[in-house]
Structure 1
Amino acid sequence: MASVNKVILIGHLGKDPEVRHLEGGTTVANFTMATNEYYKDKQGTRVERTEWHNIAAWRGLAELAEKYLHKGQQVYVEGRIRTRQYQDKDNQTRYITEIVADEISLLGSRPAAGVAQPATAAAAEEPVTFRQEPELDQLPF
């Protein structure tokens, strides 16, 4: 049987995307996103639990994230979970789990004056969605 690695999140950006341009011209945008869960504890008190997610957007999706995403904005992110390792400055192996975004939709109220937004968002009431187009070498056929 095949496996599935799919994540869907709706939450608020914790910071503006940090964008890097790698060798070969590839662009990556990294940002954090908060999702909230509400429940009642044994005493009946409403409790809020916030989970933070690391998001990575690549290539064209990264460029759109840089242009249109801002701290506090509500977004829908669809993608897949990836865990990778790296060496820190003390040469210790570290691991990070992140969501590699395939799709990002802008939700919530419109941005404040002076904040960039897609031309289609000005008149539209539905969310604006950006999708990562697969690279030719990623296609399964």
Structure 2
Amino acid sequence: MESPLSHPAMISLSILFVALYLVRRALLGKKRKYPPVAGTVLHQLLNFGRLVEYQTELSRRYRTFRMLTPTNNYVYTVDPANVEYILKTNFANYGKGTMIHDVMEDLLGDGIFNVDGAMWRQQRKVASLEFSPGYCATTAASCSATRPRSSPAS
């Protein structure tokens, strides 16, 4: 049986692929840093009975980590700097997307926790009025004024 590398076309293709790889690597510069892969669907199935504990253990070990599935790559983080970056500094880049919206629509509808873009900004504007300092103080005062006083236990 003849070796595939004895054919000039195979040798040329191999050299071309290596050259393309090296050029691409040089143009991209530094290698991107990704969070470590901490689990896959198999790991989740093996720990299904204790999934919350399993993910808590992972988050203690790796403050930010990836879980791989056949169709997606999920990033989990408990690092306060990353959470602030995602929820405040660069919120617009971290949309939920149509998959999350479609899955959660029956539970959350088109509320602030399930929409992106203009709909999210409109929901946030409405919600921010409810959480203004004046509104919170007025609500707290009216709740404490109408709350029945409990008698001390005997």
Give the TM-score normalised by structure 1: 0.21
Q: TM-score, normalised by structure 2?
A: 0.20
Larger Rg: 2
Question: Higher RCO, 1 or 2 (CA under 8 Å, sep at least 6)?
Answer: 1
Hey, which of these two has a bigger chunk of helix by percent?
2
